[in-house]
Copies of this chain bind each other. A is one copy, B any other.
């Protein structure tokens, strides 16, 4: 796993433009967030599904990087004062705290744009061909757009200070975090030229672990410690935020999460290859402590 992460992180920065005197701060700002750590869940999934469907890690890598760029851009913009106004991310000052709001805004947009440059890059085309690269662009734009992640962010923004139900949370999360995780499964499948059946199973796995990811996030905000989490715990209840944990209780949340994880694991049964890593990963998300 950690070797794969290293490869991802090396390739991620390789797509950044050169730092000339004019755009140095902008590229520094993009690089700052791109290399600020994180679990690299989404690119890992891209690579795993590509491998499982008979594709290569190398060919899927540009799509994996494009997806991680989109994830990173969303974090930069989410942390801005007009959104969540966060000062810390993964224990480090947020992008706008270091580079200023204007630069952080541009750096986020720069990473979103770079994602599409990466998916249509010479390297991506050489390894995947025009058709697959265009499919990747299409998937990336759909999962990141108004019907995907941005849709989830507007729901989140408009839910602030409101009491909402579990169904509302599910719609929000299926867009806000679910869309990119589903995108990861799809991108891996696209690069490998997977069958429709494989794509369907991959998406089902992603839908289930995506929801688990969010539910466990809510639970950790109650049960974890600031030290383990790298950010203050208890912020959800402090902000009187409707969360799965607040609405359903910790025990029920963990019961549902376990059920969803088993469903995710079962979606993998149709694949012929080795699914151990993806199974382990689903249980890792369930049992994680940060």
Which A residues contact B (CB, under 8 angstroms)? 16-17, 22-23, 25-27, 30, 73, 77, 80-83, 101-103, 105-106, 108-110, 112-114, 116-117, 119-121, 125, 130-131, 133-134, 137-138, 140-142, 144-147, 150-151, 153-155, 157-158, 171-172, 175
Contact = CB atoms under 8 A, between A and B. Distances in A.
Contacts of A151: 22-23, 26
B130 A22 contact: no
A142 B117 contact: yes
- Per assembly, the copies of the chain total 2
Contacts of A120: 134, 137-138, 141
A172 to B, nearest CB: 8
Contact of A131 (B110, B113, B130, B137): B130
Nearest to A24: B154
B106 A23 contact: no
Contact of A138 (B117, B145, B172): B117
- From A16, A134, A142, name the one whose CB has the most chain B CB atoms within 10 angstroms: A134
Contacts of A77: 105, 109
A116 B145 CA distance: 10
Contact of A27 (B17, B141, B146): B146
